[in-house]
Structure 1
């Protein structure tokens, strides 16, 4: 049993999702080969830090100097990732970093190279790799269940920015976010497409910023929004397949959903966050639809099913995916190496960010 003292830098929405996953982890999976100790936390509003953290750090440097600290989970705005990640890496701490790891590919490269030179265990929160249906679909594709891949659609449609009175924030400024919907959400789609279908050869993109101004925190003041509300990217893969990746923060859906549709010469595969455990396989020759445990699942998918919360312990697909992703990170720390090559390391995050850079151009 390896003790892993984990420090949190940032504890906003996504940090709380990570913390819920870490807190519940030993209850859902009591036989894990590690024990996560929730160490110090640093955030802007120190008065709202939950009691189960070891202490409130006065600064990032104060947190990083904590005795026996093994790893850090960085959940802060994009524009501070480079500075905070480099400080953690310099101290030899293993690091779990929210996506995107930098504002752009150049920052991502610096973080990736520094982590490699220091030899720290690293992982990015590209947690769609830890959605069982995505991993299962990858196995089905690799096993030739739908033949040669022809085309696909990958969509993530949210509506959180439809309110014109939603105030300006760091996410709506390119200098602090690096990009809008396509970077914030679309990077998940890019990573999942690469994970399931292979590398992207070429692309063309279009985007829109519908709400060009947002209320500032000062009464009656409007500030410019210089990132996209919606982006669609048409891509060609190295395999010859083609498809579309679409990310939106202004699409009104009754229930927000991430979807993948993959079409091949023998059939199709569909994936939805409404049913994250299993992909839906359609085989045209047999005119048959299959969804459930698949006999051709590979080692990573079988491993994932052992670290993804079952129905009775489910806390929703968002927490479930983050929990599986974090368990993988901690397992790598306990083993002293990256156990499964499917792990979304900084190298994988860098590749994703290069694609987003091209989209933004």
Structure 2
């Protein structure tokens, strides 16, 4: 294979993880179900987080790093997963690719689009397998919807209505962590939650060409991490935006951390001239359909997604790193396009006007 040397048959992919905060638990849990992978190194600047993860994962002391460059250079690491704050994704991924190793990157690709062109250029100079962690692409309902849309079951797409609802802004005692710092996060709910919807929409229906947004910061101050003093929250808690899609459809999106009663809810409705697709990812193995003759007979009804549409995010990364390209994942080029949309939404919310997206 051109991207990397073919690994020995039956050899496990040895993975190092940079950033051992709460999102890393999803990665380690996913990798535990991958028989062809093993976590061999961890990295975090916080010694407590580093050693807690190292103990839990049985990582020897010599492969617990506080400098990510050391993890990348470690000969017992074949591939790297990046689970750090947003502003670190691009420089770290660039270093991994330049080191000639596959990389799996948490979303969004960056705090902003700045720096991403250098990453893309590094890939062009030294191509390596890479993947963005757009988790919801792997949900059975989303994958089945993709199949139906590719088969033109809905006819021409007229409109799309999407919501991503969380209540994390109201967690009692939540302090001024990096997610509320614009320099480190770039955006709030827009980049944290909205980027999933942006990727899902691009995956299902094609490019977003223009946006018009309204955003709010609801909890305006929080206690600092290391004192009882308060600091300003500089990222959004909530955003509603409308969008034009390249396919001709109009779309409306709501992303919020202020939806009481919702831990993590995604609702997605697609309306076409010949039918409807609707799903709620609280039940990822179900989809609601009304297609073709059903419009006149049974109406919108629940369908169980066929089991073959199940997929694993971490399993997919292991597959591409080992050269088993079963299907094309979201890569850094997809992540870059999503970042342009995130930046456009943020700018539109500041200007309170339509912003056109140039890819």
SS of alignment partner, residue 161 of structure 1: helix
2:59 is paired with a residue whose SS is: coil
Say yes or no: does 1:352 pair with 2:358: no
Q: How far does residue 52 in structure 1 lie from its aligned partner after superposition?
A: 2.6
Q: How many residues align?
A: 327
The reply on whether 1:340 has 2:327 as its aligned counterpart is: yes
Q: Please report how far the alpha carbon of residue 335 of structure 1 lies from its aligned counterpart in structure 2 after TM superposition.
A: 1.7
Describe the shift of the 1:213–1:254 C-alpha distance in structure 2 as closer, same or farther (beyond 3 A).
Answer: closer
Asked whether the equivalents of residues 266 and 285 of structure 1 are also in contact (C-alpha less than 8 Å), the reply is no
Unaligned residue ranges in structure 2 (runs of 5+): 1-9, 348-359
Which residue of the other structure, out of 94, 112, 115, is the alignment partner of 1:107? 115
Structure 1 equivalent of residue 352 of structure 2: none
Q: Counterparts of 1:11-90 in structure 2 under 5 Å?
A: 11-26=20-35, 35-43=36-44, 44=46, 45=48, 46-49=50-53, 50-54=56-60, 55-90=63-98
Per the alignment, residue 298 of structure 2 pairs with 287
User: Structure 1 residues 89-98 or 43-52, which shifts more?
Assistant: 43-52
The verdict on how the C-alpha distance between 1:3 and 1:47 changes in structure 2, with shifts beyond 3 A counting, is: closer
> Contact between 1:38 and 1:52, CA under 8 Å: does it hold in 2?
no
Is structure 2 residue 333 aligned with structure 1 residue 329? no
Q: 1:75 to 1:262 in 2, by over 3 A?
A: same
Q: CA deviation at 1:38?
A: 1.1
The aligned counterpart of 1:312 is: none
Distance 1:168 1:143, change over 3 A: same
Deviating above 4 A after TM superposition, structure 1's stretches of 4 or more consecutive aligned residues are none
Contact 2:30 2:313 in 1 (8 A): no
CA distance in 2, matches of 1:71, 1:331: 12
Can you list the C-alpha shifts for 1:126-156, whole angstroms capped at 9, x where unaligned?
1111111011111112222222111111111
Determine the C-alpha separation between the residues in 1 that align with 2:180 and 2:30. Answer: 28
- 1:311 aligns with none
CA shift, 1:222, in A, is 1.0
> TM-score, length-normalised on structure 1?
0.86
Closer, same or farther in 2 for the Cα pair 1:5/1:256, shift >3 Å? Answer: closer
Residues 16-70 of structure 1 deviation map (CA, whole Å, 9 limit, x = unaligned)? 11001111333xxxxxxxx212111012223312243353124212212211421
- Counting only pairs closer than 5 Å after superposition, residues 185-204 of structure 1 correspond to structure 2 as 185-204=193-212
TM-score by length of 2: 0.86
- Aligned counterparts, 1:200-219, within 5 A: 200-219=208-227
What pairs up with 1:41-190 in 2 under 5 angstroms? 41-43=42-44, 44=46, 45=48, 46-49=50-53, 50-54=56-60, 55-163=63-171, 165-190=173-198
The verdict on how the C-alpha distance between 1:293 and 1:183 changes in structure 2, with shifts beyond 3 A counting, is closer
* Distance in 2 of aligned mates of 1:158 and 1:58: 32
1:261 aligned partner: 269
Q: Tell me whether 180-189 or 281-290 shows the greater mean CA deviation.
A: 281-290
Instruction: Decide which moves more: 140-149 or 183-192.
Output: 140-149
1:282–1:290 Cα contact (<8 Å) kept: no
Structure 1 residue runs without a partner (length 5+) = 27-34, 295-300, 309-323
Q: Do the aligned partners of 1:2 and 1:334 also contact (CA within 8 Å) in 2?
A: no
Bigger shift: 224-233 or 246-255? 246-255
Q: Deviations over 1:133-183 (max 9, x none)?
A: 011111112222222111111111100112464210110011010111000
User: Shift of the alpha carbon at 1:117?
Assistant: 2.1
**Partners of 1:2 and 1:233 in 2: CA distance:** 47
